[in-house]
Amino acid sequence: MTAVTEAPAPMDPASIRAAVGELLHTFLDERERAAVEIPELAVFTGLLRDLLDAGGKRIRPVLCVVGWQTIRDDPPPSAVLRVAASIELFHACALIHDDIMDRSDTRRGRPTAHRVLAARHADHPDPANLGTNAAILFGDLALGWSYDLLHLHTAQDLTPEQRAVAWPLLNALRTETLVGQYLDLTATGRPTADTGSAWRIIRYKTARYTIEHPLCLGAALAGANLVQLRALSAYALPLGEAFQLRDDLLGVFGDPGRTGKSDLDDLREAKHTVLVATALQRATPGEARTLQALLGHGALDEDGARTIREILIATGAVSAVERAVHERHEQALHALTGSRLAPGAIARLRRLAESVTTRNT
């Protein structure tokens, strides 16, 4: 007589975050031990530890594990958790290099890597420049290590089939993200009414990188078939778009006390978002002139920001974006219907979609 075993409860996001954090620590410990003859490496492992511990949401590793759980009931093996962790190391590089590009002073409430490195070399003739340059190298290290975590510590525990699906997905994840950042760079500082290019930035910089690729990666590692992967993509892409649209709204209308980020930065940088492009499309000539005059001013104050917010509302851009969030949420749910995924998995993905689109932090 076969015992009826109940499927174990899936890992919740907090346990996934903790497990991934532990794997990253183990990896950094090993790097530190390997580097005894190069004491300078401890500078970088220490900085990386600080960044990884500073309380990021680890949304990509979480989604990778959620992808696994969508297909299989058994808990993800440690090799799959290491693949998830490697995305977080890649993300560390993206953050380090992003902060250089944006000249940001803080990240997750702490000084950014280039500022820490500049402070470390305060006696240098040009510490700010040295800090930036050292942080370029630091990001390169994190990027290289994201691959090393995979290929030195993980590859041998994956099957050839798993490797064959995972490597191209990870390659697409990285390449598309970098292109998305390039699109964002070239558009920031000169917003236009071109919503098409704003949608392309969202697709590559966020929707695929943050939601679609991690989710599909986990599912593919779990052996998802093509129909299932297509359904997950069809769910994840609009959800990722909704995620970024919500982020854009929070960046201008959010409560800095809850979001942890200023509600002026996006406006001061003149980010080319769907929100702003839509407003420019619908604005009267006078409103458009006001927007163009105020957006991108580094010294934009609360009064100026209020004027921008009023125009974003008056033009109907805010409600158009809210509507787009809602539509994409619906599209995501629709993709789950007839997806041949297990009912439990569908229920979890529905809850995830709800939390992504309605979040206020």
Pick between residue 214 and residue 254 the one whose CB is nearest to its own copies: 214
Dig out the tokens for 211 from the structure.
Answer: 């939601």
The interface region with its own copies, picked from 73-81, 154-162, 234-242, 250-258 by CB under 8 A, is 154-162
| Other C-beta atoms lying within 10 Å of the C-beta of residue 232 | 28
**Any idea what the Cα angle at residue 180 is, between residues 333 and 146, rounded to 5°?**
90
Say whether residue 32 binds its own copies (CB under 8 A): no
Give the rounded distance of the alpha carbon of 115 from its chain centre: 22
CB of 285 to its own copies, least distance (A): 22
Per-residue x/- marks for its own copies, 85-124, CB under 8 A? --------x---x--xx-------------------x--x
Say whether residue 182 binds its own copies (CB under 8 A): yes
Say whether residue 179 binds its own copies (CB under 8 A): yes
Question: Phi/psi at 169 (nearest 5 deg)?
Answer: -65, -40
Nearest alpha carbon to residue 272 among 171, 179, 195, 341:
195
Pick between residue 159 and residue 319 the one whose CB is nearest to its own copies: 159
Say whether residue 253 binds its own copies (CB under 8 A): no
Question: Phi/psi at 234 (nearest 5 deg)?
Answer: -65, -25
Amino acid at 198: A
* 320 and 245 Cβ atoms separated by less than 8 Å: no
Pick between residue 19 and residue 201 the one whose CB is nearest to its own copies: 201
Say whether residue 152 binds its own copies (CB under 8 A): yes
Pick between residue 149 and residue 229 the one whose CB is nearest to its own copies: 149
| Integer CA distances (angstroms), 213 to 66, 127, 174, 206, 287, in order | 12, 38, 10, 10, 39
CB of 33 to its own copies, least distance (A): 13
Interatomic CA distance for residues 215 and 197, integer angstroms: 25
CB of 41 to its own copies, least distance (A): 6
Dig out the tokens for 291 from the structure.
Answer: 């927007």
CB of 281 to its own copies, least distance (A): 21
* 318 and 249 Cβ atoms separated by less than 8 Å: yes
Binding to its own copies, residues 34-53 (CB under 8 A) = 35, 38, 40-41, 43-44
Say whether residue 185 binds its own copies (CB under 8 A): yes
* 70 and 345 Cβ atoms separated by less than 8 Å: yes
Say whether residue 255 binds its own copies (CB under 8 A): no
Number of shown-chain residues binding its own copies (CB under 8 A): 51
Dig out the tokens for 279 from the structure.
Answer: 């407003």
Interatomic CA distance for residues 22 and 257, integer angstroms: 29
Binding to its own copies, residues 269-328 (CB under 8 A) = 296
Say whether residue 128 binds its own copies (CB under 8 A): no
Interatomic CA distance for residues 259 and 247, integer angstroms: 9
Work out which of 46, 55, 77, 189 binds its own copies, going by CB under 8 A.
Answer: 189
Binding site for its own copies (CB under 8 A): 35, 38, 40-41, 43-44, 93, 97, 100-101, 121, 124-126, 130, 133-134, 136-137, 139-141, 143-145, 147-148, 150-152, 155-156, 160, 163, 167-168, 171, 174-176, 178-179, 181-183, 185-186, 189-190, 204, 296
